Structure 1
Amino acid sequence: MAANLRRLRNEKGLAQDDLAYEAEVSRSYLSQLEKGAFYASLKILEKLAKALKVEPYELILPPSRKRR
């Protein structure tokens, strides 16, 4: 989830502070989620997805493997 969260936030052009505000979580908590130090509850996952305007599953999809 950490990589997807960071990637989606960057694609939307949001700073951590902005996303944290929109999702109603602290910036430090968001930072820890992006580092993979914490796991998000379903409630937090829903808040983050809503703030990013994506479906929650997009945050938890495994990274796609590049074909050789």
Structure 2
Amino acid sequence: MNISIIDEVIEQLRVMPQHLQWRVLEFARILAKSQVRGTPGQQLLPFAGSIPPDDLQLMREAIEQGCEQVDANEW
């Protein structure tokens, strides 16, 4: 089945209540006005490999120590 995104959105809108259709419309308008921010990856390629391997290892260890722990009492 080769259905376009627009057609799929229209199909979903058809089964939604009108108040949700309005929310989709508002969201689509917001997205249409938004601008993509950031730096294209192509511009970042010259920096590839510029972090020394020792620093990368330190970062990896810090992430593993700090991010792989769950504090059940935190919430």
Interval of TM-score (by shorter of Structure 1 and Structure 2): under 0.3
| TM-score scaled by length of structure 1 | 0.26
| TM-score scaled by length of structure 2 | 0.24
State which structure, 1 or 2, has the greater radius of gyration over its C-alpha atoms.
2
